[in-house]
Amino acid sequence: MPPAYHPELKRRTLLLRLLPATTTRNLSFRRRMMSREPSRLVEGVTTDDLVVDHDGLRVPVRTYRPAGSAADERLATLLWLHGGGLVMGTHRDDQQCSRLAAAHGIAVVSVDYRLAPEDPFPAATDDIVAVARWLVDDGASRGFDAARLAVGGQSAGGGLAASAAARLADGGIDVRGQLLVYPMLDDRTVVRADIGRKDHLVWNNTSNETGWTAYLGVPAGSGDVPHGAVPARRGDLSGLPPAWIGVGTRDLFHDEDVAYAQRLIDAGVECELDIVDGMIHGFDMLVPRGEATRAFHASQDAFLRSVLGLDSRP
């Protein structure tokens, strides 16, 4: 029997049960709705929109910096990847990115990676790696310290962060850590017989099949998945950067996230696993002022301070 919902969710679960799953049929509508989300910057943070031209790719990004930092001041940098099931979402992830920039005095670079099904794997990871290499090669002149670089993301962005961390490690680029917030790591969850198609709120296995199949270009959970597309299918996890993985017990991704964390630990990779009882996918955005969210963010913040060598901040 699944655990009870966290009391801070209150009546939100009743409303969320009425929301339809993300499917190919309603994808255009969901994209339009997500693009209309209002900007919510944390006070004291400035943004800049630019296009990274590197490795033959032109990738839009939005950067976030503390307002008081000098333009040429080299700041520790978090490469951030938005959520959206690999098929939607926006790099204008203002609330989360500005919070992280303000809390730590760092730069956050949010990547407008290409989306499936128009651009399936490896388009998104190619975009992310191009931006990471740009930070290493040219970022110093813009105030980014590539010697103190971490990658992170939420949901699908968390899965892409894990993929990018592996590709960058394979390519000899040093990443200090990977911040994986309820990450989407394993397409094989789609075909689990013990999970119903509509058992989970916000993102269920119907939505999961839509996202993974669009991204992979083949049926999710099949034997024809492209090599390197799915983090949980990587055979050897040794040598990857330290990781933080956080997920709720009522999240569709709970089991795959816990399994991936254990595999990292077994491979000798430092990994902190933060499990929040009774919480669903995206709970920190649903109850941003709740005690569980504050504790969830504090755990992420401690990890970033550690891997990036930052001074403690209130």
35 a catalytic residue: no
Beta-strand relationship, 107-111 and 57-66? antiparallel
In angstroms, what CA-CA distances link 75 with 65, 71, 93, 104, 227? 9, 10, 20, 10, 34
Amino acid at 91: H
93 a catalytic residue: no
Which of the residues 93, 186, 187, 251 is marked catalytic?
A: 251
d(CA 34, CA 173): 33
d(CA 223, CA 99): 40
Which of the residues 82, 104, 254, 281 is marked catalytic?
A: 281
Helix (H, G, I), strand (E, B) or coil at 261: helix
d(CA 277, CA 102): 28
Do the Cβ atoms of 250 and 200 come closer than 8 Å? yes
Identify the bridge partners of residue 153 per DSSP, sorted by sequence position. Answer: 81, 180
Which of the residues 98, 110, 155, 163 is marked catalytic?
A: 155
Identify the bridge partners of residue 51 per DSSP, sorted by sequence position. Answer: 60
Tokens for 100, please give them: 């992280």
Do the Cβ atoms of 208 and 143 come closer than 8 Å? no
d(CA 270, CA 306): 12
138 a catalytic residue: no
Do the Cβ atoms of 168 and 141 come closer than 8 Å? no
Q: Which DSSP letter does residue 305 get? A: H
Three-state SS for 182-220 is CCCCCHHHHHCCCCCCCCCCCCCHHHHHHHHHHHHCCCC
Smallest CA-to-CA distance from 158 within 239, 61, 89, 55 is with 89
Catalytic residue numbers, as ranges: 155, 251, 281
